[in-house]
Structures are given as structure tokens and as C-alpha cells.
A and B are shown apart, each in its own frame.
Chain A
């Protein structure tokens, strides 16, 4: 329950969550974004480096039924790992949906990369170990 014990505690959409809490029966979530077991993925390191939610998950806010937008393939991962300056966004825009990059975003991102020492690894064992 956490937040929703105080936020929108009467919402109909959260009925399932309250039911689950009351009965102890877990909610059956359908897993949409599925990475294979041999790939290690950490959300936190990506979010903290400036990868937006939208970049991987697409326009969740406009999805009637949530679907996988990006291939989540290794080649797709590496596209960004090799050139992160093309995809990163400022820290306060991580959760923004429909974010439009400003004209000088590559230079800004390169500066961030330098400042933060962001070096996304491309060696095999970074994800497969």
C-alpha cells in the first residue's frame, strides 16, 4: 500500500490494490517488459544517469493497454551505450512524457557525461555474468 494508504485512498482504480492488501492475495500482474534471465539490468543506474522512462517504455500515459514499445534487444541497448549523448535528458525531465529535446542537447549531454563521468560499459560481462 505504502503511498496509497494516504494518496487517493478512495480511488476505484486502486480497488484491486486494497483488496490484495486486505486478503493477502497478490495481484496477478502481467509482465510486459521481459528481459531474459541471463541479462542483468538495474533501473537505478539508468535513471540516475539521465535515461528517461519514456526512452525505453514509450508513451505509457497514452497506452490503453500497456505494450512493449522498444525491442529491448542487445543491439538496441548498445545503440545507447555507445552514444549516450543522443538519448540522455536532464535530471528533472526523467519522468516527463513527450519530452522534446532542445536544439543544443548533444552538447549539453556531452558536458553532463564529462562532468558525471558517465561511461556506459559495452563489454559482455557488464550485463551477462
Chain B
């Protein structure tokens, strides 16, 4: 095994003369300042708090604080400040099982990028307050993500849209219903841009809509554009398969720019858990998995890697190709720029040898930045290794052949402009923010007679649409969705919609289809009555209550999903419902029924694939067929820089941008808060003459101007120099630079006025998200690529921007940043971590745990 550094020393701009020894000759450091031994780092160590942290707030910053905390306070109420006269209002008639102060828990599901996350939500006195994972949910098993945790604050967001709007002014809900009743008809050409969803109920509703509008055009909209994984796997397997990775069974994991541990990934929870299982050592004789990562940024996954290679995004494709060639999987071309260096070739050789010796215990994962060809290649390598069915399961989602979203959108925009669309409904979609201006969606919208937008906020698209409808938060609405593995999960509301005018997705689609207002619960119930009607011996009410209690329906995984372990199966015993069938998905035109009983659930895809490996004439045919298509990286420009645009790990596509919790949470790598930046390596920054200086608790960064390859789009944003970032690449995060309309949030609350004498209306400003960071989509063109080549970058002279990063916060006071040992050292001394720091001799003084009850209390001595 060759030695590969986690961070290339060549990246270190400054020469460190005599690095202090960290036990094995290397030195760990936390920031550039720390590496260079800057004065300010030493100063920070001397202080207990960061500069400014312990100073009293000034009036303006307090005002800002209150503004930021708006939603949090509205949620928590404001108790126990002073002793004003306080009224208690008990229930005149107490609801059954409701005890004030005692929380109740409900199972529900959060829709996240088209998949469901099973949740158990705590309700305090009827208000949802805390989101946790549903411990019984088959895929997530009690785990959750930051997005789910923070989603509860979105519910109480004071900037949420509250009323139905028509051409910029509030109207009654009835007005909208009248309008919807009018334009239904056989010849109305309605187009629906629906947020990606796996809800079987929405799929049925779509069919109902098609009955009313035979010319219905339904586009499933993903804010981040095309899904290269779906395209690539379709090319490699000739079917719509969704991969489920089982890292816990893997010995060698190769990531081709796949940040599978990022919270933005659909299957984040399962990926993280199975990966952690593969790394956990129960005792010294246990084995650990090895993770190789070739990546175009610096990600959480790269940070976990045993062997990491920082490559520009197009070079990752070349790397993937070299890996395939090394493993004898053919040399069909994935075009990527540049040949590999000697070190990179050595990496490929080692990785290929390690993967081959791991066999079916190896797995290759391709990332969302990579073109479909690389995804196809990765799947082909998995097949060759025999990993399909072991470390990667291919689940048959039953979805129809995938048309790239960018293609569908271009066609839709053409039709809109050509007057071939009479009405456009956008539900949970915000194309005016997500799409580059060059796609002309705004102009296209103006050529459509009626445009309707439904969303939580009056966002960019809402302001341009004729109609805006407030959308119910998922904690306020009835619905359903399928988890990543297909498990059907029911979204059960925790609270009535906070605003009367809010529509749930089902209610809105039903209103579009029928022109009638109908309760979302009734709509969902009717569907399930139909589905459950004939199944089982029990009556419907009992089954339905059990489904709601569990939050999911056992045994509804996609064909090909991993077998559940015995314990879980025993748990499902008697709970699965016979005769239950679900439409494959929203996109599915034909619906192969997935039976609830085990016999009907043959993992057909996985079986077929395993038998086909490793000799694969069919797959190579499929692969070479696709490789004749132009790869997105074909013709990549060698000029300029390569830019990678990713969803922000905190704000996602921007739907969490008005959430102060998420804005406050530092980026996992840069540790920046409240901003997005252009992340680059120190060499790239030096090339462009850019720098970042530390000054009194904040960082003053130079500003860079990025110009799109076609010369049209142009953005300016501060730079951030990230050690470990590949040279020549620039990383950007989406979700910033929002424009939310917040005109009617001026409602003043009594308790705010009580709190401070110098009360000013805290809501009179713009929304929280406005003015934070920069929107990066202007760089893209109508192909909606995440990786852009040939981007011109130049320094904006004289501009400086102040950034806040927590990277240098929290001094370790001379203790090691991290305690580490190689496997050999660990096996020799499993207690190395404890030995690395000083502990008090004889244990801690509270070990004896003395009783707090007096020894000689009279009660003890009384005879």
C-alpha cells in the first residue's frame, strides 16, 4: 500500500519551518492562521470568548437579533421574564388524552427531494415542536437529518405566505375557486410543474386531472436539474433502477466525486448509518472498511476518506475511465480533460487492486456532479465486482424512462412562448430562482394566460405569477410519499394550517381537477379506502388507524430492496396488508403492482444482475451504445476555470434560506455562516491574486467576478481559500441571494412590545433570506449543468467582503485536535485515545457519587 496524504502538502502555501510533532511526525492544524502561526490565532487562544461575543449588544444588533429570532420566539412563546399578571385559560371542555404540559407524539413523513423521511414529531399542547426520526421506520430507523430537524421552524416562519393573491393583491379563497371552475375544459392546455414527489396519492390526483384536462402536461420539477444517476443507471441497466448502497457490507468503497454523506442526499440517513457501521470497531479484532475518494471539492465524504485525491470535476471523469481500464472493464471513452499524473495513476492502480481483491465487498459510487456516463461506468464496475445484491441493491421503482428535466423544461418554455400553453400551475416549484435568466422563463410565463404558483413563501416565482396560493407546510397537511426504498409513508398533520387560505397539494390538485374545495383528509382517505377495500379480514378503520399509528405501511418496498432482517420482519408480522397496491410513482404511466406479501416481491433486478456478472456482453453493449452519445464533458474548455455548483448543505435549494437555525449553522467544511462564497485552493487564489485576511473576529475576503463561458451570466462573490480543494476548480453553493416578498408581515405582537422599551416593528424590513449571499444560477445555461467549464474569473479590484467563520472558534487549549492511531497501533493498544491525554490519577473525584442526603440526618439515627 502506498502512502497517500490526506491533504496534499503542496497545497500548503506557506512553508512551515519546523512543524510541531504530533506523535508520528505530522502536524495537525485547523486553519491557515494556525499553520502559519499567525498572531491572531495565539490571541484567540488567550481569550475565553471570541471577539465581540461577550460584549453587550447594541440597540441595532439587538434589533437584528430579535428579527432573527422572530420565528423561534413565536414558536416558544415568551415565558418567565418578569411577573406581569398572567392569565390561565384552561379548556372549558378538555380534549380527550390532552394533558397540558405533556407532549404527544405522532408518526408522519417529511417529503424531501421526492422521497419520504419517516418521522416522529412531538407536539406540545397541540403545536409541533420537535422532529425526530420514526424509530420503527424500516429505512431510517429513528435517525433524521438537520433538514428535518429545522423544518419545524419553517412552519412558524413569520414571512410565510398567508393569503391567496391575484395580480399582486390579496383576494378571497372563493375568488380562486371561481376562477378554477371556469377554465376547466377539454381544450384547455394545462401544464403542471410539480415539485418532485413520490406520493401515490398525487399520482392518482394527476390522473383525475388528466380526465378534466386531456391535454394535461405534467413536468416533475427538481430544483437542481437533471438526475445524472438515474440517466446513467438507465443506460447501464436498461431499466429505471434506483441504487441503495449498503456500505456496512463493504470492505472497499470508491467514491467518484460522490458526497454520499452529505445531508442534501436523498438517502443521507441510510448512507450515513451503514457507512458508520462499516467503520465502527466493536473490538480490536474487527475490520474496518476503506474509503477512497476522488473529488472535485472538499466534502464531508472526502474528509472521512482514508485515501483522498482532489481533482477538478472533468478530471474525475478521466480518473473513472482510467479506473475502468485498470480493472479491465473496457476503455470506452468518457471524455474528460487532461491525462492523469503519475501520482493519480498510482492511486488508480492501488484502488483497482484493492477493489478487485474485495470483490463483491467492494463498491463504486458516482456523484451528482458527474455525467451519466460516469454513473453508468460505476454501475458496470459494481456488476463486474459482483457487488450488485451485496453492497449495492438496484431497486425497481417502476418509473418510466427518464427524460432529462432540462430537456423537458426547454420544450415547455418553447411551448409557453409559442402560445401552446393556456394555464401553468407551479406547485412547490420556484423556476424563476432556480433557472438561469437566459432560459427566459419569466418571458415565457408572461405569454401564458393564467399562471398559478403555490408555495410556502411569496418567492421569486410567486411575485411573477397571476395567482399565488399559500401552500400548507408538511406538518399541516395530509398526504403520502414513498421512502427511498419505496416504503409507503403517510404524512399526517400535527396542526391545522396556520393560515386558513393554505392549500395542501392534494387539495389544490383536486381543486384544479374539479373546481371544488374538498378537505385533504377526505381526499386521502377516499384513496386508501379504495386501496384497502378488498384486502385483509379487518375493517378499514382498524387498518387505517394502524397505518397512521406506524406512519408507514410495512412490506411496500420497491422490488429489489434489501431483505429486512429477522427482527424487523417479526415486527412487521401481521402488520403488512394483503392486496394493497400502489402506483409506481408520480411519473409512472403504467403501474406494476407491488404486492404486500413477500412472495410477490422478487428482487428481480438484483437477481438478474448478479447472474450476469462478471461476464457481461449485454452490459458492455449497453455501455458502448451510450458512450457514443456526446458526454456533457465533451468539448470541455481548457481555458478558464471549472465551476461546481452544489445545493447548500444548510439551505438546500433555498427552501431553508429563511430559516435562522440553518443560516446560523456553519457549513460543514468552510464553517462559514450567513453567506456563500467561491471556494478555491490556495494555488488558484494566488493565480488570481485573491486573498482572505483575518481581522478582529472576522475575515476580510477579496471579491471575485465569475463570467459564464458564453459571456452572458456574471456574478460577484467573496472568495474562500479551502485547504484540500483541487486546483483550477471553484466551488459554489446554491440557495442564497433570495428575493422573498414580505409586505404583510408588519403585524406587531404584544409580547414584543413588552420586551423592550425601544420597540420598533421588527418585521418592517425585508425577509431574513433577502440580501444574504449571492444567487449563482446566472452562470448556468439552459442545459442546467452543475459543472461548468471555461468560466472566466477575475479579481474585483478594491472590493472587500466581511465573512464570519467559526473555524477558529473553540480552542483546544493545547490538547490534541483529534486523537488518532493506525490500525496496528490501535490493535496494540486499544486505549490509545485515553492514553493520549492526561487524566487525573485515581479517577475523577465524583466517581464515588456521594449521596446528597446528609449522613447524620436525624431520621437515620432515630431508634
Q: A residues bordering B, Cβ < 8 Å?
A: 20-21, 23-31, 34, 36-38, 82, 85, 107, 110-111, 113-114, 119, 121-123
CA distance A40 to B87 in the complex (A): 20
CA distance A110 to B861 in the complex (A): 10
CA distance A82 to B852 in the complex (A): 10
* Contact of B862 with A24 in the complex, beta carbons under 8 Å: no
Residues of B within 8 A of A29 (CB): 87-90
Which stretch from B77-85, B410-418, B536-544, B603-611 is at the chain A interface?
B77-85
Nearest CB of chain B from residue A78's CB, rounded to whole Å: 11
Which A residue sits closest to B85, measured CB to CB? A30
CA distance A31 to B89 in the complex (A): 10
* Contact of B92 with A85 in the complex, beta carbons under 8 Å: no
Nearest CB of chain A from residue B93's CB, rounded to whole Å: 6
With beta carbons under 8 angstroms apart, the residue of B87, B92, B859 that contacts A23 is B92
CA distance A119 to B83 in the complex (A): 32
* Contact of A21 with B83 in the complex, beta carbons under 8 Å: no
Asked whether any CB of chain A lies closer than 8 Å to the CB of B86, the reply is yes
Which B residue sits closest to A120, measured CB to CB? B853
* Contact of B89 with A28 in the complex, beta carbons under 8 Å: yes
Nearest CB of chain A from residue B801's CB, rounded to whole Å: 41
* Contact of B92 with A30 in the complex, beta carbons under 8 Å: no
Given A37-B79, A110-B862, A111-B862, also A123-B88 (CB < 8 A): no
CA distance A29 to B854 in the complex (A): 41
Asked whether any CB of chain A lies closer than 8 Å to the CB of B25, the reply is no
Which B residue sits closest to A124, measured CB to CB? B852
8 examples of A-B residue contacts, CB within 8 angstroms: A29-B87, A30-B87, A31-B85, A34-B86, A38-B80, A110-B862, A119-B853, A122-B853
* Contact of B80 with A114 in the complex, beta carbons under 8 Å: no
Given A20-B92, A122-B852, A123-B852, also A85-B858 (CB < 8 A): yes
With beta carbons under 8 angstroms apart, the residue of A23, A27, A119, A123 that contacts B90 is A27
CA distance A36 to B86 in the complex (A): 12
Nearest CB of chain A from residue B571's CB, rounded to whole Å: 32
Which A residue sits closest to B858, measured CB to CB? A110
* Contact of B91 with A34 in the complex, beta carbons under 8 Å: no
Given A28-B87, A30-B86, also A21-B852 (CB < 8 A): no
With beta carbons under 8 angstroms apart, the residue of A26, A38, A114 that contacts B862 is A114
CA distance A39 to B79 in the complex (A): 13
CA distance A36 to B80 in the complex (A): 6
C-beta contact mask, B53-94 vs A, less than 8 Å → 1, else 0?
000000000000000000000000001100101111111110
CA distance A121 to B859 in the complex (A): 14
Nearest CB of chain B from residue A97's CB, rounded to whole Å: 23
* Contact of B87 with A31 in the complex, beta carbons under 8 Å: yes
CA distance A119 to B851 in the complex (A): 11
Which B residue sits closest to A68, measured CB to CB? B83
Residues of A within 8 A of B85 (CB): 30-31
Which A residue sits closest to B862, measured CB to CB? A110
Residues of A within 8 A of B862 (CB): 107, 110-111, 114
* Contact of B92 with A25 in the complex, beta carbons under 8 Å: yes
* Contact of A26 with B90 in the complex, beta carbons under 8 Å: yes
* Contact of A31 with B859 in the complex, beta carbons under 8 Å: no
CA distance A74 to B95 in the complex (A): 35
CA distance A26 to B526 in the complex (A): 36
Nearest CB of chain A from residue B349's CB, rounded to whole Å: 57
Interface majority SS (helix, strand, loop, mixed), chain B: loop
Which A residue sits closest to B90, measured CB to CB? A26
* Contact of B83 with A34 in the complex, beta carbons under 8 Å: yes
CA distance A37 to B81 in the complex (A): 10
* Contact of B80 with A31 in the complex, beta carbons under 8 Å: no
* Contact of B858 with A31 in the complex, beta carbons under 8 Å: no
CA distance A77 to B90 in the complex (A): 27
Q: B residues bordering A, Cβ < 8 Å?
A: 79-80, 83, 85-93, 852-854, 858-859, 862
CA distance A119 to B859 in the complex (A): 10
Residues of B within 8 A of A20 (CB): 92
Which A residue sits closest to B86, measured CB to CB? A31
CA distance A107 to B88 in the complex (A): 41
Interface core residue of B93, B858, B859 (most chain A CB under 10 Å)? B859
Which B residue sits closest to A121, measured CB to CB? B852
CA distance A119 to B85 in the complex (A): 35
Nearest CB of chain A from residue B210's CB, rounded to whole Å: 45
CA distance A119 to B852 in the complex (A): 10
Which B residue sits closest to A117, measured CB to CB? B859
Which B residue sits closest to A123, measured CB to CB? B852
Residues of B within 8 A of A24 (CB): 92-93
CA distance A29 to B88 in the complex (A): 5
Residues of A within 8 A of B88 (CB): 28-31
Residues of B within 8 A of A25 (CB): 92
Given A20-B92, A110-B862, also A37-B86 (CB < 8 A): no
Residues of B within 8 A of A119 (CB): 853
Residues of A within 8 A of B92 (CB): 20-21, 23-27
Nearest CB of chain B from residue A80's CB, rounded to whole Å: 14
Starting from the known contacts A20-B92, A107-B862, A110-B862, 9 additional A-B residue pairs (CB-CB under 8 Å) come to A27-B92, A28-B89, A29-B89, A34-B86, A36-B80, A111-B862, A113-B859, A119-B853, A123-B852
CA distance A92 to B854 in the complex (A): 29
CA distance A27 to B862 in the complex (A): 50
CA distance A78 to B90 in the complex (A): 31
CA distance A59 to B80 in the complex (A): 26
Residues of A within 8 A of B853 (CB): 119, 121-122
Residues of A within 8 A of B89 (CB): 26-29
CA distance A101 to B574 in the complex (A): 62
* Contact of A85 with B852 in the complex, beta carbons under 8 Å: no
Residues of B within 8 A of A82 (CB): 854
Residues of B within 8 A of A36 (CB): 80
Nearest CB of chain A from residue B220's CB, rounded to whole Å: 46
Residues of A within 8 A of B93 (CB): 21, 24
Given A30-B85, A122-B852, also A114-B90 (CB < 8 A): no
Given A23-B92, A24-B93, A122-B852, also A114-B859 (CB < 8 A): yes
Residues of B within 8 A of A38 (CB): 80
CA distance A107 to B85 in the complex (A): 42
What are the 4 A-B residue pairs with the smallest beta carbon separation, nearest first? A26-B89, A29-B88, A31-B86, A113-B859
CA distance A107 to B862 in the complex (A): 9
CA distance A85 to B857 in the complex (A): 11
Residues of A within 8 A of B86 (CB): 30-31, 34
CA distance A37 to B88 in the complex (A): 15
CA distance A114 to B92 in the complex (A): 43
Which B residue sits closest to A119, measured CB to CB? B853
Residues of B within 8 A of A34 (CB): 83, 86
Residues of B within 8 A of A113 (CB): 859
Nearest CB of chain B from residue A45's CB, rounded to whole Å: 16
Nearest CB of chain B from residue A15's CB, rounded to whole Å: 14
CA distance A27 to B91 in the complex (A): 8
CA distance A17 to B93 in the complex (A): 11
CA distance A104 to B500 in the complex (A): 66
Residues of B within 8 A of A123 (CB): 852
CA distance A37 to B78 in the complex (A): 10
CA distance A31 to B80 in the complex (A): 13
CA distance A28 to B88 in the complex (A): 6
CA distance A23 to B90 in the complex (A): 14
Residues of A within 8 A of B858 (CB): 85, 110
Nearest CB of chain A from residue B92's CB, rounded to whole Å: 5
CA distance A27 to B79 in the complex (A): 20
CA distance A30 to B86 in the complex (A): 6
Which B residue sits closest to A21, measured CB to CB? B92
Which A residue sits closest to B91, measured CB to CB? A26
With beta carbons under 8 angstroms apart, the residue of B80, B854, B859 that contacts A85 is B859
* Contact of A110 with B852 in the complex, beta carbons under 8 Å: no
Which A residue sits closest to B77, measured CB to CB? A37
Residues of A within 8 A of B83 (CB): 34
CA distance A46 to B484 in the complex (A): 51
CA distance A20 to B90 in the complex (A): 10
CA distance A114 to B80 in the complex (A): 37
Nearest CB of chain B from residue A35's CB, rounded to whole Å: 9
* Contact of A37 with B80 in the complex, beta carbons under 8 Å: yes
CA distance A124 to B199 in the complex (A): 49
